[in-house]
Structure 1
Amino acid sequence: MIRNRVTEMLGIEYPIVQAPMGWIARSPVASAMSNAGGMGIIETSSGELDNIREEILKMRDLTEKPFGVNIAQAFVRDPGIVDFVADQGIKFVTTSAGDPNRYCGPLKEAGLTVFHVVPNLAGAFKAIDAGVDGLVVEGGEGGGFKNKDDVALMVLLPLIREKVDVPIIAAGGMTCGRTMAAAFALGAEGIQMGTRIVSSAESPVHDNWKQAILDAPETGTVFLNRHGQGPALRALKTERTAAIESNPPEHIMMEMSNALDLYFGGDMNAAIALSGQVAGRIDEVKPIKRIVDEVIAEFHTVMHSMSALAEA
């Protein structure tokens, strides 16, 4: 067990958080992460709150370990979301894709621990002022919805750590014990994994998507919609995303209209296959417990070797 502020706040063995990917981060994935000693997260970015409620109920049968919920503010417009989450007995929430002031106060009043996802220093300051317990610091190399002025985690993480004292979970490029050790060296006390989990055995996405991650080189993603309306996104390079990159649509989110045909039908050109650059380092589909066990074992090996090197 790793003891630090993140594990103590969240009541988990290992400071590894599973990213809240829409339609993917549901009970099979989240319970596998929690049972492996990390923090499983149930998504809300799909907007399917009735289904989310059922997924939370399923979690009670699949794990006795702590788990959390993400509130993706850009996709969840229901003003009752705080009561919804609190009524499910959730103790940990990450908020993202919006103003941290919107939900932090009510969530804290309901007794929840709140971490907010930030892409830059200004966002970190705003979240701290809102009263969050911690931050998920997300570099531009990560997959999914991004800030248009992206900053690599290697720059962003130590910058924010120098300016704030709350616990930080590092997101973007996290896939192994070496990347976890690097994040800790830069000031993190936990990591979040997304693309690594999309390609896991428990992930519900079609095998075509998993195979595309395994086949992707380090240059196999594209950064979309830097100058258009709506959010920017990092995704796998496909025929569709290559066309979008060179000829951006007026409304990028319309490109996700047929997302389920991609997610579960396997049509890699039906929508945008969100993915981080770390896809270029993933070459095997593994169960989540094995992923976590390998990350933690390698993390300790690297930390011990670096300690020995410093003492030499």
Structure 2
Amino acid sequence: MKNKLVDLFNIQYPIVQGGMIWNSGYKLASAVSNAGGLGLIGAGSMYPDVLREHIQKCKKATDKPFGVNVPMLYPNIEEIMNIIVEEGVKIVFTSAGNPKTWTSFLKGHGITVVHVVSSSKFALKAQEAGVDAIVAEGFEAGGHNGREETTTLTLIPMVREKISIPLIAAGGIATGRAMLAAMVLGADGVQMGTRFIASHESSAHDSFKQLLLQVQEGDTTLTLKELAPVRLIKNEFYTNLQALYAKGANTEELKAYLGRGRAKKGMFEGDLIEGELEVGQISGLINSVESVDTIVKSIIKEFEIAKSELAYL
């Protein structure tokens, strides 16, 4: 399969694995890269020394291209960027910040830079900042999300209209048919997060993976817009959060209840009651935990079948 995205990353398939906190260690990233996609290490949940360790292990586990996802709102950002350069990482996805801050630094060291956005306005700003590609993430996506609540179906063509660089669609994509639909809308490839949580290689807790398989339509929601919008599974933590909203809690009260380490507690340690369980709406379509290789092969097979069916329309 050849297109601009495949050429940019030197990969076999235009499939990018989301760099999700507490889910995306070197085992997942290397497995996706070995399967023909682009694996990403999720730096957002790693101390600098842990990130270095995962990069080094990923280089040993695959000879294929892989990258690092860096949410720029986290501390130690300068140290993290220096480690990425020192370790010879060739691809970086940035998010949750101004792309102007680090793009020139990274590109100055020969690194391909991709920025994640939730609107056509910020896609254009990222292109102007000099990034090599854009991830446009719709409202359906799990984890931290945009405030605009624009769905992937409407976001992708609007972003495509604004930019000329490669475009990666994200949010609500877990199948070959969804991949084809995104590309018909103007994307050059897709980024999948939730689908890869339900893999053997994901670093998510097994209890979290099993819960993900039980999620049905309507079981996730976007909340905490006052702090940083996040889509998660409705559990006891969410129920208590809604009680605070009902009482008219202010930002400081919400922040105090959220506390620290809530996502780690849920996704990595398996506390399904008090943890923050971040998944996308597409989880209602995921019914099994499989190997990354099986997942990628299934996606590509379905993509090719769907594409052949379109020829008859």
The question of a shared fold, defined as TM-score above 0.5 by the shorter chain, is answered with yes
Matched, 1:206 2:205: yes
Distance (whole Å) between structure 2 residues aligned to residue 144 and residue 255 of structure 1: 17
1:240 maps to a residue whose letter is F
| 8 A Cα contact 1:36 1:292, kept in partner | yes
Alignment RMSD (CA, Å): 1.5
Matched, 1:280 2:284: yes
- How much does 1:24 deviate? 1.7
1:299 maps to a residue whose letter is F
- How much does 1:22 deviate? 1.2
SS of 2:311's equivalent in the other structure is helix
Distance (whole Å) between structure 1 residues aligned to residue 267 and residue 153 of structure 2: 30
1:298 to 299, 302, 305: 302
| 8 A Cα contact 1:105 1:131, kept in partner | yes
1:244 to 218, 238, 241: 241
- How much does 1:134 deviate? 0.7
* Structure-to-structure mapping, 1:213-252, within 5 angstroms: 213-226=212-225, 228=226, 230-248=227-245, 249-251=253-255
SS of 1:79's equivalent in the other structure is helix
| Equivalence for 1:84 | 83
- How much does 1:94 deviate? 0.5
| Equivalence for 1:115 | 114
Distance (whole Å) between structure 1 residues aligned to residue 269 and residue 149 of structure 2: 31
Distance (whole Å) between structure 2 residues aligned to residue 131 and residue 65 of structure 1: 25
Cα deviation, 1:165-220, whole Å, max 9, x if unaligned, reads: 11111110110100000100111111111111111121122222112111111111
SS of 2:77's equivalent in the other structure is coil
Distance (whole Å) between structure 2 residues aligned to residue 98 and residue 209 of structure 1: 28
| 8 A Cα contact 1:141 1:152, kept in partner | yes
TM-score calculated relative to the size of structure 1: 0.94
| Equivalence for 1:32 | 31
Change (3 A) 1:87 1:55: same
| Equivalence for 1:196 | 195
SS of 1:68's equivalent in the other structure is strand
SS of 1:29's equivalent in the other structure is helix
Distance (whole Å) between structure 2 residues aligned to residue 246 and residue 149 of structure 1: 24
* Structure-to-structure mapping, 1:42-81, within 5 angstroms: 42-81=41-80
- How much does 1:81 deviate? 3.2
Distance (whole Å) between structure 1 residues aligned to residue 218 and residue 6 of structure 2: 34
Distance (whole Å) between structure 2 residues aligned to residue 208 and residue 73 of structure 1: 29
2:292 maps to a residue whose letter is I
TM-score calculated relative to the size of structure 2: 0.94
| Equivalence for 2:275 | 271
Cα deviation, 1:99-144, whole Å, max 9, x if unaligned, reads: 0101111111111111100000111111011011110000011000
Cα deviation, 1:245-299, whole Å, max 9, x if unaligned, reads: 3424521783452443323332112321001000111111111111100101111
Distance (whole Å) between structure 1 residues aligned to residue 136 and residue 75 of structure 2: 21
Which sections of structure 2, spanning at least 5 residues, go unmatched?
246-252
SS of 1:17's equivalent in the other structure is strand
Distance (whole Å) between structure 2 residues aligned to residue 275 and residue 71 of structure 1: 19
SS of 2:69's equivalent in the other structure is strand
1:266 maps to a residue whose letter is G
Cα deviation, 1:45-94, whole Å, max 9, x if unaligned, reads: 11411011001111122111110011110114432433321211111111
Q: Which moved more, 1:124-133 or 1:266-275?
A: 266-275
**Percent identity of paired positions between Structure 1 and Structure 2:** 38
| 8 A Cα contact 2:180 2:307, kept in partner | yes
Change (3 A) 1:156 1:245: farther
